């Protein structure tokens, strides 16, 4: 891989985007929830599923330089059986990221107030783990392993390829917005995939935790323009 393809220093505009994104996301959990799901279909238990850098983990590739912004159109995670359209989402009345409607359980929501996948900063994709009747798009998200590939097709014709570096199930009492939503390393293009996990509370209609998959840009197909 050439030097052009490796992570470089972000410009001032990119740094402002990262900082703003981090500040906005600090409020999500304190509003009471990130995503609320339905019936309580069995999902992975509470605790760290994986931690980057653990002994015996896979050798992870170098980061690729961030791309210019472009809206995401489709997400693919082969190891989790995900091939899904991506739709834009904002915040709901409670100040949380508004996931796709239950009538569209196969769709993934991109938080349009943050970076686009492949651009510098942390892009956020959310999806339901289940609905009132069946598993949803991120039902197998916690099965993803370190080193797995995540592909995001973008409207500019490029496909941003991300490599998973950590998979965690984060409980409410351990939830740190800066760690979950902030960049793991500065000046990279990063991706967070989030759904519900832990124990389902039928009275509150919420789960006790969130499954959080962290990935970073390592390759690009169909387009090579960087955003730095």
* DSSP result, 85-123: EEEEE-B-TTSSB-PPPTT-TT-EEEETTSPPTTSSEEE
Least confident of 11-15, 77-81, 122-126: 11-15
The count of residues in the chain is 228
In a domain, residue 126? The reply is yes
The shares of helix, strand and coil residues in the chain, as percent rounded to the nearest 5, are 15, 35, 50
Nearest-angstrom CA–CA distance, 74 and 56: 32
In a domain, residue 227? The reply is no
Indicate the number of domains in the chain. 1
For residue 13, pLDDT beyond 60: no
For residue 207, pLDDT beyond 90: no
Per-residue confidence (pLDDT) for residue 202, from 0 to 100 = 84
For residue 159, pLDDT beyond 90: yes
In a domain, residue 212? The reply is yes
In a domain, residue 226? The reply is no
How large is the average pLDDT for residues 217-222? Answer: 96
Residue scoring higher pLDDT (87 or 226): 87
In a domain, residue 174? The reply is yes
Q: Please give the residue range of the domain that contains residue 153.
A: 3-221
In a domain, residue 228? The reply is no
How large is the average pLDDT for residues 183-207? Answer: 90
Per-residue confidence (pLDDT) for residue 180, from 0 to 100 = 81
Pairing mode, if any, of strands 82-89 and 189-201?
unpaired
What digits encode the pLDDT tens for the residues 105-156?
999 999 999 999 999 999 999 999 988 888 999 999 999 999 999 999 999 9
- pLDDT classification of 90: cutoffs 50, 70, 90: very high
**DSSP element (H, E) containing 104:** none
Per-residue confidence (pLDDT) for residue 10, from 0 to 100 = 33
Alpha helices (runs of H) in 5-111, residue ranges in sequence order = 12-30
What digits encode the pLDDT tens for the residues 14-63?
333 333 333 344 334 332 344 434 444 444 443 444 444 455 678 999 99
Per-residue confidence (pLDDT) for residue 28, from 0 to 100 = 42
195 DSSP β-pair partners: 211
CATH number of the domain encompassing residue 23: 2.40.260.10
In a domain, residue 171? The reply is yes
């Amino acid at each position: 891989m050439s030097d052009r393809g490796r992570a470089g220093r972000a410009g001032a505009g990119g740094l402002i985007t990262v900082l703003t994104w981090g500040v906005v996301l600090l409020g999500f959990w304190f509003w009471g929830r990130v995503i609320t799901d339905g019936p309580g279909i069995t999902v992975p238990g509470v605790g760290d599923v994986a931690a980057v850098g653990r002994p015996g983990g896979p050798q992870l590739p170098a980061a690729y330089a961030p791309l210019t912004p472009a809206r995401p159109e489709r997400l693919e995670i082969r190891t989790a059986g995900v091939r899904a359209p991506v739709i834009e989402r904002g915040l709901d009345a409670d100040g949380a990221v508004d996931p796709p409607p239950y009538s569209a359980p196969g769709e993934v929501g991109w938080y349009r107030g943050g970076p686009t996948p492949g651009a510098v900063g942390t892009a956020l994709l959310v999806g339901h783990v289940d609905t009132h009747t069946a598993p949803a798009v991120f039902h197998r998200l916690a099965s993803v392993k370190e080193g797995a590939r995540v592909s995001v097709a973008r409207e500019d014709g490029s496909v941003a390829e991300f490599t998973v570096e950590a998979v965690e199930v984060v409980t409410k009492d351990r939830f740190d917005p800066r760690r979950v939503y902030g960049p793991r390393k500065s000046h990279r293009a990063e991706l967070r995939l989030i759904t519900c996990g832990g124990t389902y509370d039928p009275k509150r209609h919420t789960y006790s935790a969130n499954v959080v998959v962290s990935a970073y840009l390592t390759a690009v197909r169909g387009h090579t323009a960087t955003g730095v």
